[in-house]
C-alpha cells in the first residue's frame, strides 16, 4: 500500500495511537534474558520496530541500502525525488540532540538534488525509566520546521573548534525557545546561504550557491523559489 508521509503519520498516531504506549527492551541468549536499561541502542531499536510495524500494515517502502546516506526510507518506490523520509528519535527528558543533516554534504547535495529540501522528518520522542520505554510524542516535520537561527550563525549548527559539522534542530515544541523555527523553505535556504557566507571555509566559493540551488529546484520540481 502506497502512502504519503502525512498518511503514515496519521496511521501511526491517530489510528494506531502510538503516543503514550509503553515497551520494554530485553536481550535473550539461550536461557538468560536481560532487561536493558542503557539508552545506547534505543534509537536504532525504535527505528527497527517502526519498519516492522510498517510491514505489518503492508505499507510500501524501501530502506536505503546505505545506512550512512540520506534518506532512511523511500516511501515512493518509483519516484526517488518524492517520499523521502528521515526517521529521528530522542530522549524526551534531554531534548533533541540529533543532527538534521551534515552541513557540507547537505549544502553540496542541494546543488544537484535540491528536491531534498522537501523531505519529511518523522520524529519520535521517548522516555526511559529502567528498561521501560514510553513514547511521549511523535511529529512529522519539514527541515525548515525543525531548524532555526542561533546566536552565532543565521542557522543553528554544530561547531567544534571553528569547524561546522552538522545542522542541528532547535527545540521546536518549546514556547520558551529563544529562536523559533523558520516559516518556509525559502527562509531556511536563505539562512543556510548566509551561514555559508559567514563561515570562513565556504565563504569564498559561496557566491553562486543559492542561485544554483534555485535553478536546480525549478528543473526538478517545476516550481520557483523566491528568495530575497
Q: Could you tell me which residues are beta bridge partners of residue 116?
A: none
What pLDDT score does 171 carry? Answer: 96
In-domain check, residue 116: yes
Give 203's contacts (C-beta < 8 A, 6+ positions apart).
196, 197
For the cut 90, the answer to whether the pLDDT of residue 207 exceeds it is no
User: Is pLDDT above 90 for 205?
Assistant: no
- pLDDT band at residue 178, thresholds of 50, 70 and 90? confident
The Cα–Cα gap between 97 and 99 comes to 7
Separation in Å, CA 176 to CA 51, 88, 182 = 34, 22, 16
What residue has cell string 525557545? 177
Residue 121 phi/psi, 5-degree rounding, is -120, 120
Q: How far apart are CA 79 and CA 134, in angstroms?
A: 35
> Is 227 a domain residue?
no
3-state secondary structure of 191: helix
Per-residue pLDDT averaged across 106-116, rounded? 97
CATH classification at residue 174: 3.40.600
If one counts the domains in the chain, the total is 1
Residue 110 belongs to some domain of the structure: yes
In 10 A of CB 36, how many CB atoms?
17
pLDDT of 1-15, one tens digit each? 999 999 999 999 999
Domain range holding 169? Answer: 5-221
In a domain, 228, yes or no: no
Closest by CA position to 25, among listed 97, 129, 136: 129
Indicate whether 171 belongs to any domain. yes
Asked whether residue 44 is domain-assigned, the answer is yes
**SS3 call for 47:** helix
Cβ atoms 92, 57 nearer than 8 A: no
Average pLDDT over residues 147-159: 97
Amino acid at each position: 500500500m502506497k502512502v504519503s508521509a502525512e498518511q503514515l503519520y496519521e496511521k501511526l498516531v491517530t489510528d494506531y495511537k502510538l503516543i503514550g504506549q509503553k515497551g520494554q527492551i530485553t536481550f535473550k541468549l539461550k536461557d538468560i534474558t536481560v532487561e536493558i536499561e542503557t539508552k545506547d541502542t534505543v534509537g536504532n531499536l525504535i527505528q527497527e520496530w517502526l519498519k516492522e510495524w510498517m510491514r505489518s500494515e503492508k505499507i510500501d517502502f524501501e530502506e536505503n541500502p546505505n545506512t550512512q546516506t540520506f534518506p532512511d526510507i523511500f516511501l515512493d518506490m518509483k519516484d526517488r525525488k518524492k517520499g523521502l523520509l528521515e526517521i529521528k528519535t530522542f530522549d524526551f527528558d534531554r531534548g533533541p540532540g540529533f543532527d538534521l543533516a551534515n552541513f557540507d554534504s547537505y549544502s553540496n547535495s542541494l546543488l544537484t538534488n535540491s528536491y531534498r529540501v522537501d523531505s519529511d522528518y518523522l520524529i519520535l520522542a521517548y522516555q526511559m525509566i529502567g528498561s521501560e520505554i514510553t513514547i511521549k510524542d511523535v511529529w512529522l516535520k519539514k527541515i525548515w520546521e525543525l531548524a532555526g537561527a542561533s546566536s552565532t550563525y543565521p542557522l543553528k549548527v554544530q561547531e567544534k573548534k571553528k569547524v561546522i559539522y552538522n545542522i542541528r534542530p532547535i527545540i521546536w515544541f518549546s514556547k520558551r525557545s529563544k529562536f523559533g523555527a523558520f516559516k518556509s523553505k525559502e527562509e531556511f535556504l536563505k539562512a543556510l546561504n548566509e551561514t555559508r557566507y559567514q563561515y570562513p571555509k565556504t565563504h569564498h566559493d559561496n557566491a553562486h550557491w543559492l542561485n544554483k540551488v534555485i535553478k536546480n529546484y525549478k528543473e526538478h520540481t517545476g516550481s520557483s523559489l523566491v528568495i530575497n
